[in-house]
Amino acid sequence: MGFGARYLELESRILDRLSQTRYIQEVIHDTISGRITLFLMVVGTIAFFNELYITIEMSFLQKETYEELNKGYIDESLKLHKMIVSDEYHGREYMDEKSGIVIEEFEEREKFFAKPVHVAHLYVVCNILKDENPILSTPLQFHIEFSPEEYEGEKRLEFGCRLKVLRTKLYHLFKDSPLYDDLVENGSNFTVSKNVRIYNTLDELLPTTIDAVQLCFLKMETGDKIKCNFVIDN
């Protein structure tokens, strides 16, 4: 028996089984519709496993990025992280001189998935310190969300908000609360840069010198719980 005959025999068995399978039997009316259904099922199965493979592979790429960031030091060098300054990690648009059409060129798939995801929201546990000692029995807790309007001016929008946005939000949450009036004396020099101390998920202090760095590069992810201290100098 030749290959063609063996294939037709196998196909006939499969189509016969499919024609008796619940739901699938409703779209099989003859040999042609059966072959179309079988073809779509085979192609769909191949596509499913291909997407599954890509998803697993890309998740490992992103995991490597976060491991690299978490092992690094929080200092000025973060301002020059390769993903911020290198164009190979970002798509670009340019005008084709011959056609006059704007061409959009995307980064490679591996480069796209290697980038950290922007921080959409955080939970922040805040202590109020006076003489470096907490003065509240229970810390304040805030849920901070970041809207697209808060990072629309960034060169790399996909990385989200800067540290300065978070620091400013926390400053106003405390400064505009009744607690501030009760605890901070009039004339006290309470400033966003000096008196709001933010720590990442690894309990590392994030200095104001890196306020221009976007949050996803500072060892925190969406939904993380971090710490902040409001320091009173009275």
User: What is the per-residue pLDDT across 172-192, written as a single tens digit (0 to 9) for each?
Assistant: 999 999 888 888 877 678 899
What pLDDT does residue 199 have? 97
State the Rg of the chain over Cα: 28
Q: For the chain, how are helix, strand and coil distributed in percent, rounded to 5? A: 45, 20, 35
> What fold does the segment set 116-232 form as a domain?
Ubiquitin-like (UB roll) (3.10.20)
Spatial distance between the Cα atoms of 17 and 12, rounded to a whole number of angstroms: 9
Residue 144's pLDDT is 96
**pLDDT score, position 111:** 81
* Pairing assessment for the beta strands 205-206 and 196-199 based on DSSP bridges: antiparallel
Own/partner pairs, 91-96, CB within 8 angstroms, 24+ separation:
none
> What is the reported pLDDT for 88?
75
Encode pLDDT of 72-111 as tens digits.
777 655 656 777 767 777 777 767 777 778 777 777 778 8
CA atoms within 13 A on the CB side of 202: 14
Tokens 């739901």 identify what position?
A: 23
Per-residue pLDDT at 79: 59
Question: What's the pTM?
Answer: 0.72
Quote the pLDDT of residue 15. 76
Residue 29 is predicted with a pLDDT of 79
State which residues of the chain have pLDDT below 50: none
- Enter the tokens of residue 53: 């493979």
Task: Please state the domain extents for the chain.
Answer: 3-62, 116-232
Residue 169 is predicted with a pLDDT of 97
